[in-house]
Amino acid sequence: MTQSWRDVTFLHWAVDPAAVAPLLPPGVVPDLFEGVTYVGLVAFRMHRIGWWRLPGIPYLGSFPETNVRLYSVDAAGRRGVVFRSLEASRLAPVVTARLFFRLPYRWAQMSVHQIGDTYWYASRRREPHQGPTPPRSRLGVRVTSALDAPTPLEHFLTARWRLHFALGGRTVHMPNAHPRWSLSRAELLACDEDLIAAAGLPDIASGPPDSVLFSPGVPVRFAKPATA
């Protein structure tokens, strides 16, 4: 499977590993950096999902996405991510990802806007929900300085080459490959969201994120899932 991730904003909060361990699939544990793990809120534009060597789908395969993710490592030492939720604005990819991969995609009304060096992302879930209002997010960042080389923490948060998830009663991993991220630091202009709390992690984002990064994006290729 092929796709591109464009105009990517990464927000991360440090968290006690014990807070996220119960939310991971069997066979993986929190991946740690200097004794803590991280919760990520990542907003971007998905561009042209495709298969094999066919051209990516221009409309149904291109849409805004915002995901809540955790960091995992399996018994073989393979580091990856675990998605707690993935908001997407196209219903067909949401249904497909749920049906075939059992990934927690959610249909949402979403937008991404660029104004110079600032980027704004908005999301409001369309699906039935608990509580008086649907889970939503409004994020804004201003890109500041390009990074010649990421710090060890920035590498830990962004250099992830597989996804761990439960499928058919087993935990599997799906490898991916893409060029090195072109990263910049960014100034957080706004972060009004409750997607992280809705994903089972209340109070994590009550303060400012510990890391704010931006990338113009990368092309990505996924391999078939394999047992973790």
Phi-psi region of 13 (alpha: psi -120 to 50; beta: other; left: phi over 0): beta
For 168, residues 6+ apart whose C-beta sits below 8 A from its C-beta are: none
165, 172 Cβ separation under 8 angstroms:
yes
Alpha-carbon gap, residue 202 to 194, rounded angstroms = 9
Q: Can you tell me whether residue 173 is helix, strand or coil?
A: strand
Tell me the HSE value of 66 on the side-chain side, using a 13 A CA sphere: 29
pLDDT value of residue 164: 97
Residue among 64, 97, 91, 94 nearest 163 (CA): 97
Alpha-carbon gap, residue 203 to 197, rounded angstroms = 7
Single-letter code of the amino acid located at 113:
H
Distance of alpha carbon 129 from the chain centroid? 21
> Can you give the pTM of this predicted structure?
0.94
- Report, at the CATH architecture level, how domain 2-227 is classified: Beta Barrel (2.40)
Residue among 41, 85, 39 nearest 199 (CA): 85
Single-letter code of the amino acid located at 155:
H
Largest CA-CA distance found in the chain, in angstroms, rounded: 47
- Tell me the domain boundaries of the chain: 2-227
pLDDT value of residue 128: 78
* Torsion sign, CA atoms 219, 107, 73, 202: positive
What is the full per-residue pLDDT of the chain (228 aa) written as tens digits?
889 999 999 999 999 999 999 999 999 999 999 999 999 999 999 987 877 666 656 756 799 999 999 999 999 999 999 999 999 999 988 999 999 999 999 999 999 999 999 999 999 999 877 778 999 999 999 999 999 999 999 999 999 999 999 998 999 999 999 999 999 999 999 999 999 999 999 999 989 999 999 999 999 999 988 987
Alpha-carbon gap, residue 167 to 100, rounded angstroms = 9
Single-letter code of the amino acid located at 3:
Q
